[in-house]
Chains A and B, each alone.
Chain A
């Protein structure tokens, strides 16, 4: 079992829709969770961090964390073609200050 798992996609949604991206992780001791956006050929860009169970909203982005079920998700409201990218989930597994990444989910937003 991979330590951080994501569906590779692509996830295709129409412009204006809600995109839902999911991630599961293996270690119950993890305390810090991050979402990065990566455009093709570019480096990852941090877009959300979440540390407590529940929802955290930032503009069109909402991160959701459920530690009991060991999953974290990212919702993108009013999706735009410019949101088309690969979204990487990263977890500080076992709170060791070592950031482990999933393989990413490719999102395509159709105009």
Chain B
């Protein structure tokens, strides 16, 4: 069965500092990786997906199949980045487990 691990429950960095939220996955097939974000009092929403290879709000994430990782990075954190971040794994071919989510990392950007 697939698994997603986000080792940090809480990550606190100062404004302007680089941010890296870690995500490791376990899946024997070809993965589809996502980062979802939940800002305070808002619903869960897609931040980015690996297949798009795009930068959203300054965030990027590279899929490293060798290390089975999909870390989320931003070079200069901003206060509005404070939120819960969830890494999620989808399985190509319509696997029976839907999206498998990590337990999330609460990112706090200090002024």
Q: Do A and B come from one complex?
A: no
Using a CB–CB distance below 8 Å, which chain B residues touch chain A? Answer: none
Residues on A lying within 8 angstroms of B by beta carbon are: none
